[in-house]
């Protein structure tokens, strides 16, 4: 499969042959689901916490005597049925992490990229070196590439001008070829890769 390469002004700058095996048919769908589910679960902080009857502040004194009052028996102010009492089976700090093996993650990324490539949602740019850190300049590049909605820009590494120029554009996010994951690939409307970043992704997907 070949995809066209553009300059930052939106002009044609050649073609690039995709160098990783595309995932056809329904294969990889479950891998994508498992990987995205695990990624989103890992974003949960898991810090919700409630106090049991043994942890609620209070006295051990019996509220009233056992018999003779006409009221139900009560042995503790910390009882879960009382306002301000403990919570039964309430949440405690925990990890929501799910284990996904490396082969599944690799298949999921390959499947996600295949679908975005086939849908024409991947834009390959020859280079993304900006002359300044001005948002106006970067916004002009995005416009020249024909992107109107959300976009993810994938570069080979940290680029100070690019990071500073993009931070004021709410619909544009940045990442690198080393940290790109399946969720990143699926979320935005368009994926903008530098040629170098795309080649690094191909190398990742071609590792045995």
Mark which of 60, 95, 130 sits at the end of a domain: 95
| Model pLDDT, residue 208 | 53
Token output for 147: 């992107």
d(CA 30, CA 39): 14
Residue partners of 71: CB distance under 8 A and separation at least 6: 64
128 touches 151 (CB < 8 A): no
Residue 175 sits in a domain of what CATH number? 3.40.1370.10
pTM for this structure? 0.84
- Whether 63 and 87 share a structural domain: yes
Q: How confident is the model over 81-133, as pLDDT tens digits?
A: 999 999 999 999 999 999 999 999 999 999 999 999 999 999 999 988 888 88
- Whether 72 and 85 share a structural domain: yes
**Domain residue limits at 29:** 2-44+100-205
- Whether 38 and 51 share a structural domain: no
- Whether 111 and 54 share a structural domain: no
Token output for 170: 């709410």
- Whether 138 and 191 share a structural domain: yes
Give strand pairing partners of 174: 153
């Amino acid at each position: 499969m070949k995809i066209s390469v553009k300059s930052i002004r939106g002009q044609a700058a050649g073609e690039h042959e995709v160098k990783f095996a595309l995932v056809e048919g329904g294969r990889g769908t479950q891998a994508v689901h498992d990987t995205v589910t695990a990624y989103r679960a890992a974003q949960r902080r898991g810090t919700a916490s409630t106090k049991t009857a043994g942890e609620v502040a209070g006295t051990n004194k019996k509220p009233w005597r056992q018999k003779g009052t006409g009221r139900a028996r009560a042995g503790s102010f910390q009882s879960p049925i009382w306002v301000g009492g403990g919570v039964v089976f309430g949440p405690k700090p925990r990890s929501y992490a799910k284990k996904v093996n490396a082969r599944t993650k690799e298949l999921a990324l390959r499947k996600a990229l295949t679908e975005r490539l086939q849908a024409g949602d991947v834009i390959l740019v020859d280079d993304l070196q900006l002359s300044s850190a001005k948002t106006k300049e970067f916004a002009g590049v995005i416009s020249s590439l024909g992107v109107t909605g959300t976009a993810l820009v994938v570069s080979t590494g940290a680029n100070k001008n690019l990071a500073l120029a993009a931070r004021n554009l709410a619909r544009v996010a940045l990442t690198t070829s080393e940290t790109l994951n399946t969720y990143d690939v699926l979320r935005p409307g368009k994926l903008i890769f530098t040629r170098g970043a795309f080649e690094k992704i191909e190398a990742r997907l071609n590792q045995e």
